[in-house]
Structure 1
Amino acid sequence: MQLHTLILVPRLIGNVLALWVFYGYMKETQRAVIFMINLAIADLAQVLSLPLRIFYYVSRTWPFGGGVCIFCFYLKYVNMYASIYLLVCVSIRRVLFLMYPFKFSDCKCIYDVYISIAGWIVVCIGWLPFPLLRFNYSEMNISNKCFADLPINGIKLSNSIVMMTIGELIGFVTPLLIILYCSWKTILSLKENNSISHNFEEKKKVLKMTLTCAVVFLICLPPYHISFPLDFLVKSHQIKNSHAQNVISLFHAVALYLASLNSCVDPVIDYFTTEEFRR
């Protein structure tokens, strides 16, 4: 709870500032600004639910009803995986612009809008089963529980493993491999140019962006995606050993806080890797 309180203000200020800056430069640049705007919106959506989360962990009661609870719980998934999707789009967009400047120099922002809308739809639908598994309207209203205290509805072990595997592969492993590939392609393109030129400097900027995205992935997200399936098995009563349950629950809580720092880091990425943001 303390960490949620500490990161609320910087997340709110950073992402509102990012929206303001990128909206002002939307017509001036073609360097993935639409994806940057959507990234700030995804982070901001999660930030706006933090006061209710903080209230719950302070008071240990939830008077706002089951629907509001499950919606705030759902926003966590939408924020995290929309951010992952958009970071991948930023990396791909910048590498394509760098590797094929003539082909993508006239690429209109409207295409990025369509890609962003498609990503939002896929993320919102794809991760809907996870909050629905925690949804029990009558029980939530009686117990006044929410967030991590929500029980998981009955589900077979085989179904749990399938859901976890698909979620991990699509939501984390594949995006990480794509970002690492973009970084590798940019490094190769830098080696092809030994002279200091505008193109060389542009490649260095793209490399900085893709490497920064990769670092964010490697620092903030792996612990959560290791603990998430284990925590799911604990809450669905597939893991019954009490000591293992306590260790996994503690690890998952720490990993969740670390993953939430992603929303604080995104505006920092904007500043250090985007010329328009620094201006």
Structure 2
Amino acid sequence: MAIGSTLPRRALGRRLRELRFQSKKSQLAAGLAIEVSKQGIGRLEEGQPVRISTAQFRDLLNFYGAAEDVRDEVLGLIQEVKAAKGDPSRGWWRDYADVVNPHFDHFMSLEQACSSMTTFQLTLLPGLLQTPAYRRWIMETTEPNISAANKERHLELIARRQRKLTETQPFSMELLLSEAALRHQIGGTRVMGEQVRRLLEVGELPNVAIRVIPFGVGGHFGLITQSFTLFEFPPLRAGHVPEPPVVFVEGFTGALFLEDDGQIDRHRRAVATLRDVALSPEDTGCLMREVSEEYAE
């Protein structure tokens, strides 16, 4: 029987677990509040299917003392759980203009929850590594009418996201990067010079590996796969199996989240193929220093 994407259900479980921790309630107390077993609350928080009505969810949010904007976010996730039912092997497409739940970003949820992130990028750098000036150019290009206040909020958000690199353990990140992403002059030479220096700094972290695929290798498999990110997760509880991995593929108008084992395996093989043609982290550092010096001229 097709059960559809598990992604919204897993996101809902994580959010409810966060709210329970914040309210300092036990699973037993939460279950008693909405007439569900302690085990049912545990399964709900692990992203497993549990028969709970919308009214019970509202009562649970009241029990946790959730603010109005948080209630809207969670209720929106509940609607996404219902909307995501279908064939899981096809993946789950989410439109950026999704009116079901505009309060929740699934990419950032995965980014913050994962223990390992492997990403291949053809043209743009991932948010965890972007400088404010680089990010500002992206915002101003995609949203020309963005207000100064919203621009600053976006920059504050990405700064919080980037704490993941040093404050979350265990966490590791591998970036496989086309040389084109170093050569496109996003925001101009000054911005790119600063950005490449930022990459050099982050590449020194013990949990981050940056490897560039140089133009000199010619055609390679990444030109077919296009950019993607593979997220892997720790167990929710000691002795439990980890959450299943997720592959994220971004488009101009939305994003595709893949959970099917076959799709995950294909992307793992793509990562292995890309590693074969990428420079070592040490040689990547040499190339980036050359590029940085070119931008400084």
Q: TM-score scaled to structure 2, two decimals?
A: 0.25
The structure with more strand, counted as a fraction of residues: 2
TM-score, length-scaled by structure 1: 0.26
Which structure has the higher relative contact order (CA within 8 Å, separation 6+)?
A: 1
Name the structure where helix makes up a greater proportion of residues: 1
